Every structure is written in C-alpha cells, then in structure tokens.
Amino acid sequence: MAVTELPPIPLPDGPGGTGSGAQGILRRQALRESAARTYARALPIVPVRARGLTIEGADGHRYLDCLSGAGTLALGHNHPVVLEAIRGVLDSGAPLQVLDLATPVKDAFTEELFSTLPPGLARHARVQFCGPAGTDAVEAALKLVRTATGRDGLLAFSGAYHGMTAGALAASGGAPSVSTTRLPFPYDYRCPFGVGGEYGAELSARWTERLVDDPKGGVGTPAGMILEPVQGEGGVIPAPDGWLRRMRDITAARSIPLIVDEVQTGVGRTGAFWAVQHSGVVPDVMVLSKAIGGSMPLAVVVYHEALDAWRPGAHAGTFRGNQLAMAAGAATLAYVRENRLAERAAALGERMLHRLRQLAERYPHIGDVRGRGLMIGLELVDPEAEQLAAEQLAAERPEAARPGSGRPGARPAAPMLAAAVQQECLQRGLIVELGGRHSAVIRLLPPLTITDEQAEAVLDRLADALDAAIRTAGAPGLGPGSGLGPGSERPPVASPFVGDHR
Ligand code: PMP
C-alpha cells in the first residue's frame, strides 16, 4: 500500500511529558536519551511509516530519505520482496534465534552471498557470522588476521571509519594489543601531498611501500591492512582504482592480508555489486554489513580459507543467527543481482553527479563534487576564507604560502553551512547526511530503487536548500563564525570520528 493511502496514526501522550504526538515524543526523547545520540539531533522527526524513498513523520510530513538508514537500505524502506521474505520466515514457524546453528534460511543466504562474491574469493571463501553490527565484523576481521599471521600491527588510513568498538577489543581479556599505523588516503581535493590527482595517489602508495619496507620505519610487517574502497563517513572519497591495485600488490608481495571494508559500499551502492570489482582487486578479507541484512541487523566476514586458522569459539557471540535478517538479506541480494541495480546505480549516479557539477559552477561554496554510483558527496567550503587565509599565510610565512593544502584552490571546509543546508533540506522534505573531516560534506545515499523523477526531485530540493542556506548565511547568526564570512573562526563542531553521524 502506498504511503499516501494510509490513515493518520493517533499518537498517545506517553508518561514523562505533556505534549501529544510528535512534539511530545521528541521532548521525551530529549529528556531521556543519551547525550551521545546522533542522527536524532539533526533530524528531529518521528517516522511512523515508510515505503521506498519516502518516510512519513508522525506530524504527517513526508520526506525523501537519502540517508537510507546510513546506507543500509539498498531497496529503500519496506520493499515488497523484503517484507515477503520476513513474513515467509514468521509464517513458517522457524525459530528466530538459533545462535550459529545451520538452518535452511541461513543456507539460502550463504548460497546467495557466495554467488555474488568476486569469483577469485568465492572459490576459496569461508564466512564467519558475527554480532550484528558492522563494527562487530571489523573486530572479527582484525582478530582473524592477527591469529592467522601471528602478527599484531595494522595498517589503516587517514579519514577511515570502521566502527565504534576498538575500545571493546582492546579491553577484552586476552586480546592482543593493537597498534595501528595511519597512512595517507588519496583524498584528491585535500591531497596530503598538495598535488592531488594520479600523482597524489602514487605518492600515497609510495609512502606506504617505503614505510613497510623501512627496517627503521617503526612498522614492521603488520597483521593486515584495512581500507574502504570509497571512504564513506570520511567524506565520500573514492579510492582511485589504480591506487587500490597498488595496495593489493604491496600487501600481496609481503604476505599482508588485505581487508576491504565494504560495510557501506557493498550490494550495488557504488555501481558494482562490490566496490572492489571496479578495480578487479581480490581482497583476502571482506567485511560486510548494512545492506546485506535487507534493513535488519546482520554482519559477516568473508575471507580466504588459508586464513581460517582460528580455533572453535575464537570469535563467538549470541546474536549471530538472526533468521529474519538472513531472509531479508538474501531477498535483497537476489533482487539487486536480478534487476541489475548496480548498473542502474552507476548510470543514475553519473547523471546526478553531472547535475551537481553544474550546480557547483554556480556556487563557489561547493568546493568539490564526488562519488561513485549512488554514494555521492558535496564538500562545502568557505569561498572567501581562501583568499583571506592565503593572504594571512603569505604575510606570516612567505616560504609556506604555496599550494599545500590539497588540490590547488582547495578551500577551508564550511561545517556551519553544511549544517544549515541539512536543515533547509529537512524543511523541504529531504533527508541528507553529513560527513567528512569537518562534517562539511553533504552526503546522498538514496536507495538503488530511486526513480529518475525522484532523483530530480531530490536534486531540486537540494539546490533550493543550498541557495536558501547561502542567502541566509548573510543574516545574523550565520555570518562571522559560520565558516562563511571573512574573519570567521571555525566553529566548534563535533568530530565526525567520535560519535556523530554514524
Ligand atoms: N565500516 C564502515 C565503512 C562504515 O561506514 C560503518 C558505519 N557507518 C561501519 C564500518 C560500522 O558499522 P556499524 O555502525 O554497523 O557498527
């Protein structure tokens, strides 16, 4: 049934608050829930129904949802094949909680998953069902490679996001100590070497190679390297295919397992079923979650059988047998495969990027437009601060006043503008995510089922919201200190890596 056909839902006035309906619920949430709550702060809505791209709030407002449960909903909300799969399990009388026992539902999920994997991995693959979150699968992958290699260190990248539980692993009895070496990710717009492009990516690869080989580099041979093929929370930064192949070559030549975190990029999102397929790289380990559960919690690690050296019970957990998630996930994987939604994401993503680049020509506040498939980001910048900062730097340190902050012309991030755009979007019935180093990247993660017309509507609303936010920026409260005007001081924003926007 379409969202529009549903009657309004009467909302009871709950205890602990006087308001009724949406406002009361939001008030009670603010009173009772943790200060660490995230999305709920920027998106004060109370979803009661959803279908496809659309969410309906308790106040009757409808929103086009380009957050998609942080990239979870490959098929949008409540897709009929997902609902049918879930109902099928419920009606069958199958147990819903089975730890890691074998079931027909799990068997069907594994079969479907293996049929989608890069063939080079599928032929030798093992799968570990983990606790239900992406972070659980990351923990499992790290433990796997440490056990298999007998080594400890880890190579990871600046700007990476892999989850919130590293502390849990380090705190667990018997856990090996964790030492991570942070390497430069090829972030074209803000290239750490100040050159960008292919040369910037090549320098990043050389840095990695030299550091690992340098006997006095302080790294030694690590247990593994972990990377995202497109950094998501880090600001929608696609790794160049050539760089990814270099990482594969460097790790393979030194017997360092390569772990690719496809928690966000998987299941067609970037225009290939798995993002590694763009480059032809076959990883040793793949970390999967989000879309593989078809909107329900599910996470797995898929890895080469040669790494399967851990002992029975080495990585246990109660909630590894969610039958509803496996059924919903198998239905989602099959639907994406059968309907070639990865190709659809690639084509539509290109068209959306094209329109956004046209928008960027009109607004100097859009520093960069980038993405892959339907994983799209707009990095918002302060167009005036560049000049100011360059002049200040030239006056204070003439020797340093050369392009060094990334691609020539890269300007300081504008987090307050990004937050304002997000709010203007919400007022226009569009939900977008923020990400990036300074929370200044507007992120679009629409379902792969989004129609052309819906995509146009999303871009129209976004363009309108951007225009409104820029115009309002001249008004009191969004001027100095907004990251927009001359003399503005960067406002304190919560780091995207310590708890928001996840
Ligand atoms: N890896 C990546 C690439 C992610 O984007 C995320 C979540 N945004 C995670 C891991 C962690 O997943 P979860 O929040 O389910 O723990």
86-90, 312-316, 438-442: which has the minimum mean pLDDT?
A: 312-316
Ligand 1, CB cutoff 6 Å, lining residues = 70, 133-135, 138, 161-163, 228, 232-233, 261, 263-264, 289, 502
Alpha-carbon gap, residue 426 to 395, rounded angstroms: 42
112 lies in some domain = yes
Domain range holding 151? Answer: 84-183+220-338
Cα separation, 258 vs 395, whole angstroms: 46
Residue 183: phi and psi, rounded to 5, are -110, 155
DSSP for 63-77, written as a single string = EEESSHHHHT-TT-B
CATH code of 142's domain: 3.40.640.10
In a domain, 76, yes or no: no
Q: pLDDT tens digit string along 287-330?
A: 999 999 999 999 999 999 999 999 999 999 999 999 999 999 99
Q: Which atom of ligand 1 is nearest to the CA of 233?
A: 5
CA-133 nearest atom, ligand 1: 15
- For residue 90, the 8-state DSSP code is H
In a domain, 258, yes or no: yes
Q: What's the whole-number mean pLDDT along residues 489-494?
A: 36
Q: Is residue 439 part of a domain?
A: no
- Using the predicted structure, report yes or no on whether residue 1 has a pLDDT greater than 80: no
pLDDT at residue 490 above 60? no
Assigned domain for 63 exists: no
The pLDDT value given to residue 422: 98
Q: Which of 171-175, 325-329, 376-380 has the lowest mean pLDDT?
A: 171-175
Q: How many CB atoms lie within 10 A of CB 255?
A: 10
- Any domain includes 256: yes
pLDDT 10s digits, 332-362: 999 999 999 999 999 999 999 999 999 999 9
CA separation for the pair 168, 351 (Å, rounded): 42
- Residue 197 CB coordination number (10 Å): 12
Say if 441 falls within a structural domain. Answer: no
For residue 227, being part of any structural domain is answered with: yes
Domain total in the chain:
1
pLDDT at 166: 77
What b/e readout covers 435-450, taking b as 16+ CB neighbours within 10 angstroms? bbbbbbbbbbbbbbbb
Mutational test site, ligand 1, from 135, 227, 231, 319, max ligand atoms within 8 Å of CB: 135
Residue nearest to atom 8 of ligand 1 (CA): 502
Give strand pairing partners of 310.
Answer: none
Of the candidates 229, 217, 210, 220, which has an alpha carbon nearest to the alpha carbon of residue 371?
229
Report how far ligand 1's centroid is from the alpha carbon of 466 (Å): 28
For 42-83, write each residue's pLDDT tens digit. Answer: 999 999 999 999 999 999 999 999 999 999 999 999 999 999
Q: Tell me the mean pLDDT in the region 216-234.
A: 93
